[in-house]
Amino acid sequence: MLDLFAIAVANAPAIEQRFQAVIEKMPLEGAAVVKRFASWVEAKALISINVQLFVVRNILDGAVHQNTYELAEDRAGLSGRNAEDILHERLQDYYPARIGFDRAFTDGEKFRYGTMHAGGVGLTDYGPYCMVLTRGFLESLNQVAYLPGDSLRICLRADHSVDEDAVRHSAAPHTHRHIMVAAECSTDIPSEDEGVWPQLLASKDRYFEVIFIGEVGINAVECVYVKKAEYAARWESAFESFGAKLDPASRALVEDFVHLRRSVVKGKVRLEVVP
């Protein structure tokens, strides 16, 4: 099996060389912008995980984040069903790719996936609530690697086997994450508007994946970000439409939101609502 985190560490010199090559080819002014962006990423970027509201509630109640394998094992233990069958059902068409990647690596079933984050709501296709993890949690990680995109897209062959050369080329350690990002974004960094820099780290068009091993509980959560439209819809259901008839699933969603709102009021978690 491959050791993703050792590969990332070993790739540091190559990442440094690629960054320097990018800088040397640019005009002085452009190079200065790229270096400033790299320093900004190093100072600001954290890890985020996009989740559904019930996951936020579970964590607020003292549970820890479950990756796909942990969830399957948990449900198997509670139901007596086979965990692999649950994995199939949960992952559906992504099953061959996901297990093809994870099971090629030592401790791959312990992998937790996030994205680099410096503002915004992250990758909402995975869930509307963006949990941003603390810098202390980030700095405490001993096993973490960064990739310039979706691991299933850049590190897998068509037969769902891992492309080891692609992994060795792409994976970056924590110490070199910022220059990997800067080199990848070098032609897209606006010099005059730093307000859009967070979008270079995580948007529908581009994101930087973070793979790590570590337990994520409430003490690891710095903040939760959510879009204003999602927040307003949940607020309407919870606090302004008491007479509305809701189906059981919608009622459960309302209760989860009320629980989140109560936790915010009590200072248990910080919530940022963004446009």
Does residue 210 surpass a pLDDT of 90? Answer: yes
The yes-or-no verdict on residue 105 having pLDDT over 90 is yes
**Can you give the residue range of the structural domain that contains 162?**
4-274
Query: What is the torsion angle, in degrees rounded to the nearest 10, for the CA atoms of residue 65, residue 69, residue 75 and residue 80?
Result: -160
Q: What confidence tens digit (pLDDT) does each residue in 106-131 have?
A: 999 999 999 999 999 999 999 999 99
Cα–Cα distance for residue pair 238/251, rounded to 1 Å? 9
Give the largest CA-CA distance in the chain: 65
What residues contact residue 87 under an 8 Å CB cut-off, 6+ apart?
68, 69, 72, 95, 99
- Residue 146 contacts residue 209 (beta carbons within 8 Å): yes
Conformational region of residue 160, where left means phi above 0, alpha means psi within -120 to 50, and beta covers everything else: left
Q: Please state the pTM of the whole predicted model.
A: 0.96
Note the pLDDT of residue 204.
Answer: 87
Spatial CB neighbours of 74, under 8 Å, sequence gap ≥ 6: 66
Q: In total, how many domains does the chain have? A: 1
Q: Using 50, 70 and 90 to split pLDDT, how confident is the model at 101?
A: very high
Q: What is the mean pLDDT of the chain?
A: 96
Place 178 in a pLDDT band, splitting at 50, 70 and 90.
Answer: very high
Q: Quick one: tokens of 265?
A: 């009021």
pLDDT of residue 239: 93
pLDDT in tens, 43-55: 999 999 999 999 9
The per-residue pLDDT for 272 is: 98
pLDDT at 242 over 90: no
Q: What is the share, in percent, of the chain residues with pLDDT greater than 90?
A: 96
